[in-house]
Structure 1
Amino acid sequence: MSNADPVLNISIFAAFVLITLFIVYRVSSAGTTTDYFAAGSGFTGAQNGIALSGDFLSAASFLGIAGAIAVHGYDGFLYSIGFLVGWLVNLLLIAELLRNTGRFTMGDVLSYRMQQRPVRAAAAVSTLMISFIYMIAQIAGAGSLVALLLNVHSAGGQALVIGGVGVLMIFYVLVGGMKGTTWVQMIKAVALMLCVAMITLFLLGKFGYSLTSLMQQAAERNPLGERIFSPGAQYGKDATSRLDFVSLSLALVLGVAGLPHVLMRFYTVPNALQARKSVVWATCSMAVFYLCTLVIGFGAGAVSGTDAILAAPGGENSAAPLLAYRIGGTVLLGVVAAVAFATILAVVAGLTLTASASFAHDVYANVFKRGMAEPDSEVRVARLTALIIGATSILGGILVNGQNLAFLVSLAFAFAASANLSTLLYSLYWRRFNTLGTLWGIYGGLGTCLVLVIFSPVMSGAPDSILPGVDFAWFPLRNPGLVSIPVSFLCGYIGTVFGERDEPGRAAEMEVRSLTGIGAHGRR
């Protein structure tokens, strides 16, 4: 990349940032809590579906998965399968019922028939934790991308880049609220689809439109050889790695339905029908995207070679930008970088908005103010929270710089499935479920997941750990989902059995509302 023109790269990059900032400023209307948190529930199912795909197709999808496929082959593509299949859980079990029952946050649903203050506080803790883990992966990805554009190799330089990029992303949320964020996500989703389609066509053209030739060269330039075409290159070494794959798969498939920033998007449409349409539109668009990433991933390995990818700033995450530079020069690299940055930007904006909304709406308005907060003060608290969360995530992004983004995001999925999925399903489908079961389910799953990650090879004891110089790991799996997700369901069940039954009339009322939507526009 020494021949790249940084001025042209940054010019394309800056133009995209300025255009999206202008759009956010023009469409923003954050006068009320409904405007700021749910965009006035004014988007159609198609619009929200495109925005959902924009929210979900993160740096992990574009940079992390392409890099994982380029380096590990078949095992890298497993991320794509898990991310996509997980949307069936949302489509069949969550989307419509959630839209009918809640208002702004996941805490609205969980606390509907429970004791308000402890349940909302637990929902906020879960949302903040998951959003933070997801955000550090995105901000680290943005830093790697800009470092690649500027050819910054030093750790200190990359840390400065990550900090600057994080500040820019937070600014979008403060200006635009949910409406501005949604428009950025729609623009980004369309740009991303066009970008991956263009790279796929250019790439196939380079190999005479022969996928066989492309994959043969990918095998020749990878130390694994033809093993990249079969499972096991990354997760088939021994019994532990195979268990790790099962754990990863469980987290990816079940985690989608527990991601707070995805769940919050269902409130931006007017009714449950549009919520279901949102999921269908999102699933179809993402299926096309993930098929393209398969070609891009193997193509990056074929054109750049595994050694060049791992040696670039950002490691595996540099596969797609390097490929763009090799097949389209500086102009295509600048376009890909701008689109990848927009990808990260939209996801971070959604995550920041979700986390700040959860604190402002669940904790400030309903725990501290007991439902008596003024709308202006709620929005003000949300913006202040966004600043704090953003600053913390920048520090986290610097700490995990260099880790594969798809892997980091899979940890967020494990937290989401462990803390949120059990309590959401129990709340929506089990009348006997009560406050104690909700608290045990959230804190039990969240606590188990956190402890297992801290004492796993993710943190220490391995060359690619976040803290490689020390070793305090005793849990062998890199993804804790295989243990923490069942623990969450079990804790929710045990808590319900030993807890006092909440008012049965509220359960019946929630069931009617979730299934029919009656009273959905007049909820508290």
Structure 2
Amino acid sequence: MTTLLAAGSHENNPVVNIVVFAVFVAITLYVVYRAGNRRSSTSHYYTADSSFSGRQNGIALSGDFLSAASFLGIAGAIAMHGYDGFLYSIGFLVAWLVDLLLIAELLRNTGRFTMGDVLSFRMKQRPVRAASATSTLVISFFYMLAQMAGAGGLIALLLDVHTKLGQALVIMVVGVVMVAYVLVGGMKGTTWVQIIKASILLVASTLITVFLLGKFGFSFSNLLSAATEHSPMGKQLLEPGGSYGRNGTTKLDFVSLSLALVLGIAALPHVLMRFYTVPNATEARRSVVWATVCMFIFYLCTLVIGFGAAALVGTDEMKSAPGGENSAAPLLALHVGGTVLLGIISAVAFATILAVVAGLTITASASFAHDVYANIFKKGKAEPADEVRVARLTAVAIGVLAILGGILANGQNVAFLVALALAVAASANLSTLLYSLFWKRFNTTGTLWAIYGGLGACVLLVLFSPVVSGAPDSIFPHADFQWFPLKNPGLVSIPFSFLCGALGTFAGRGKADPAKHAEMEVRSLTGIGSGT
């Protein structure tokens, strides 16, 4: 391991990493226990009784969203591909403007616990809630699978664990701790974990950025010059087209990916559910502003960290490390601050995975318990204590599935799983949300066509894309059944979802209820009737 690391003067000490990580887990579990409430209240378990301020929820939102892909993947992409790698950051950041302008306030005023509350407000309850829960569970599972698989891959670098069995054990530990967060603390405890994790992530990123700039006389130009000198791309590292400019197909692929990033994040279920943890729409808007500020600071830091890794670590060292380009930030921490800073970064990486998976788990369990159990099986007459018990059992089941899936997917293309989750969210959820909120004629048939049409098209196109087969970096590199040329289906599946929603609305026999639409419009714009 030490042969992969920095300049021979620093060595990776797994003991330090494990100790720092164990301290973080112990502290956060204690916080979750103290924040948790033993009351079997659906409002407390799902939304923490809407008791968080906009600032607190905004920091938690950034913690819920900044996954291992953001922290490690983007820094590595910038180190390897330069300008094109930073385009991921821009897409992630712009997505929050979509949330701020179109989603946050209206969603907070209209719903109560889940996205299914909004979509079924003026539609037939049972089929729409079933479709909403299906979409939420699929997105949450694939997003969670990516995090769990990422835990197994990163562990090889961070804790010097190289065996498949060792990585499987780490995935199990991550899954068990994540389920403990959700069972003990509910949404309130999980939110405090997100806040702590986001704060640590911002502090750690800022410290590395300051230390790194100090090595180059606090001159960003000097850092960029050093990065171009040590990169095989040379000055092209600072120019567009290094990764997506090779031909027309790759350019279209970038447009498709950007569309999925910007629109998918605005419809991720675990992000949408956070808007119900604040008391009113004003705090929901404030949440997005705070989240955007935190993201802006973080992504500026990743720009410096990425080019700093290109300058100090080098592409050869990153490629030969167990985590590949995902190892850029940890290796840079080792170069800049030695074993202690690497230990901190290790803890931050694990905290990132734990916090994001915990948020996904409570969202998926809430969707099943509230939309499927309470409103489909019990027809809206479920006892709150029973509903919370079902949610907790669902969290355990999802945790087990995530652990098994993460072990099976360990070493597979994690980026594919994240891209699939974002593409499904943009394809299935965004069209139905916008149509429900803004289109008076939109009906149940249109809702079902949009959700299932977008979901089906997205999954089908990915299955027959180069991500799964027909390329050296495919999941099945020795098979070739791909006919869709783009790696991300967003360019096709997102417009297709909007088209399905429109066609289904015109083809559907049931007419929309004008009174229900008027009530939804007043509630979404003013908050009257939403209980605030």
Q: Give TM class, smaller chain.
A: over 0.9
Spell out, residue by residue over 1:291-333, the C-alpha distance to the aligned partner (whole angstroms, 9 max, x if none). Answer: 1000101111211111211221222211111111111111101
In structure 1, the residue matched to 2:14 is: 6
In structure 2, the residue matched to 1:24 is: 32
CA deviation after TM superposition for structure 1 residue 439, in Å: 0.2
Spell out, residue by residue over 1:455-512, the C-alpha distance to the aligned partner (whole angstroms, 9 max, x if none). Answer: 1111122222222232221111111000000000000000000112132211111111
1:365 to 374, 379, 383: 374
Does the CA contact (< 8 Å) of 1:61 and 1:406 recur in 2?
no
Counterpart of 1:21, as a letter, is L
In structure 1, the residue matched to 2:329 is: 320
Residue 446 (structure 2) pairs with residue 437 (structure 1): yes
Q: Aligned equivalents of 1:425 and 1:397: distance in 2?
A: 33
Aligned-residue RMSD, C-alpha: 1.5
Spell out, residue by residue over 1:399-436, the C-alpha distance to the aligned partner (whole angstroms, 9 max, x if none). Answer: 44346755642332111110000000000001100000
Does the CA contact (< 8 Å) of 2:51 and 2:277 recur in 1?
yes
Q: Aligned equivalents of 2:414 and 2:75: distance in 1?
A: 10
- Report the 3-state secondary structure (helix = DSSP H, G, I; strand = E; otherwise coil) of the residue aligned with 1:370: coil
Residue 206 (structure 2) pairs with residue 210 (structure 1): no
- Report the 3-state secondary structure (helix = DSSP H, G, I; strand = E; otherwise coil) of the residue aligned with 1:521: coil
Q: Aligned equivalents of 1:228 and 1:403: distance in 2?
A: 27
Q: How does 1:56-67 map to 2 (within 5 A)?
A: 56-67=65-76
In structure 2, the residue matched to 1:511 is: 521
1:227 to 232, 236, 255: 236
- Report the 3-state secondary structure (helix = DSSP H, G, I; strand = E; otherwise coil) of the residue aligned with 2:531: helix
Does the CA contact (< 8 Å) of 1:79 and 1:406 recur in 2?
no
- Report the 3-state secondary structure (helix = DSSP H, G, I; strand = E; otherwise coil) of the residue aligned with 1:301: helix
Q: Aligned equivalents of 2:404 and 2:458: distance in 1?
A: 21
CA deviation after TM superposition for structure 1 residue 438, in Å: 0.2
2:316 to 307, 317, 320: 307
Deviates more, 1:61-70 or 1:168-177: 168-177
Q: Aligned equivalents of 2:94 and 2:419: distance in 1?
A: 14
Q: Aligned equivalents of 1:260 and 1:267: distance in 2?
A: 12
Q: Aligned equivalents of 1:326 and 1:408: distance in 2?
A: 31
Residue 462 (structure 2) pairs with residue 453 (structure 1): yes
In structure 1, the residue matched to 2:5 is: none
CA deviation after TM superposition for structure 1 residue 163, in Å: 2.8
Q: How does 1:170-181 map to 2 (within 5 A)?
A: 170-181=179-190
* Structure 1: gaps of 5 or more residues: none
Does the CA contact (< 8 Å) of 2:413 and 2:474 recur in 1?
no
In structure 2, the residue matched to 1:353 is: 362
Deviates more, 1:157-166 or 1:297-306: 157-166
1:351 to 1:411, Cα distance in 2 relative to 1, 3 A:
same
In structure 2, the residue matched to 1:248 is: 257
Counterpart of 1:514, as a letter, is S
Q: Aligned equivalents of 1:35 and 1:430: distance in 2?
A: 32
Q: Aligned equivalents of 2:318 and 2:32: distance in 1?
A: 35
CA deviation after TM superposition for structure 1 residue 518, in Å: 0.8
- The count of corresponding residues between Structure 1 and Structure 2 is 522
In structure 2, the residue matched to 1:284 is: 293
Does the CA contact (< 8 Å) of 1:140 and 1:400 recur in 2?
yes
Residue 393 (structure 2) pairs with residue 395 (structure 1): no
Spell out, residue by residue over 1:352-382, the C-alpha distance to the aligned partner (whole angstroms, 9 max, x if none). Answer: 1001100000001101110111111111111
In structure 1, the residue matched to 2:6 is: none
Counterpart of 2:95, as a letter, is G
In structure 2, the residue matched to 1:199 is: 208
Q: How does 1:88-103 map to 2 (within 5 A)?
A: 88-103=97-112
1:465 to 1:394, Cα distance in 2 relative to 1, 3 A:
farther
- Report the 3-state secondary structure (helix = DSSP H, G, I; strand = E; otherwise coil) of the residue aligned with 2:112: coil
Q: Aligned equivalents of 1:517 and 1:343: distance in 2?
A: 34
Q: Aligned equivalents of 1:458 and 1:205: distance in 2?
A: 40
1:218 to 1:249, Cα distance in 2 relative to 1, 3 A:
same
Deviates more, 1:462-471 or 1:30-39: 462-471
Does the CA contact (< 8 Å) of 1:356 and 1:386 recur in 2?
yes
In structure 1, the residue matched to 2:143 is: 134
Spell out, residue by residue over 1:92-112, the C-alpha distance to the aligned partner (whole angstroms, 9 max, x if none). Answer: 111111001100000000000
Does the CA contact (< 8 Å) of 1:40 and 1:268 recur in 2?
yes
In structure 2, the residue matched to 1:501 is: 511
CA deviation after TM superposition for structure 1 residue 30, in Å: 5.2
2:94 to 82, 85, 110: 85
1:407 to 1:345, Cα distance in 2 relative to 1, 3 A:
same
Does the CA contact (< 8 Å) of 1:317 and 1:405 recur in 2?
no
In structure 2, the residue matched to 1:298 is: 307
CA deviation after TM superposition for structure 1 residue 218, in Å: 2.0
Does the CA contact (< 8 Å) of 2:413 and 2:475 recur in 1?
no
Q: Aligned equivalents of 2:203 and 2:505: distance in 1?
A: 49
Q: Aligned equivalents of 1:14 and 1:155: distance in 2?
A: 22
1:196 to 1:151, Cα distance in 2 relative to 1, 3 A:
same
CA deviation after TM superposition for structure 1 residue 71, in Å: 1.2
Residue 481 (structure 2) pairs with residue 472 (structure 1): yes
Q: Aligned equivalents of 2:221 and 2:104: distance in 1?
A: 40
Counterpart of 1:437, as a letter, is G
Does the CA contact (< 8 Å) of 1:422 and 1:488 recur in 2?
yes
- Report the 3-state secondary structure (helix = DSSP H, G, I; strand = E; otherwise coil) of the residue aligned with 2:381: coil
In structure 2, the residue matched to 1:488 is: 497
In structure 1, the residue matched to 2:169 is: 160
1:293 to 1:407, Cα distance in 2 relative to 1, 3 A:
farther
- Report the 3-state secondary structure (helix = DSSP H, G, I; strand = E; otherwise coil) of the residue aligned with 1:258: coil
Q: Aligned equivalents of 1:224 and 1:163: distance in 2?
A: 39
In structure 2, the residue matched to 1:331 is: 340
Q: Aligned equivalents of 2:179 and 2:492: distance in 1?
A: 34
- Report the 3-state secondary structure (helix = DSSP H, G, I; strand = E; otherwise coil) of the residue aligned with 1:86: helix
Does the CA contact (< 8 Å) of 1:145 and 1:341 recur in 2?
no
Q: Aligned equivalents of 1:34 and 1:283: distance in 2?
A: 27
Deviates more, 1:112-121 or 1:9-18: 9-18
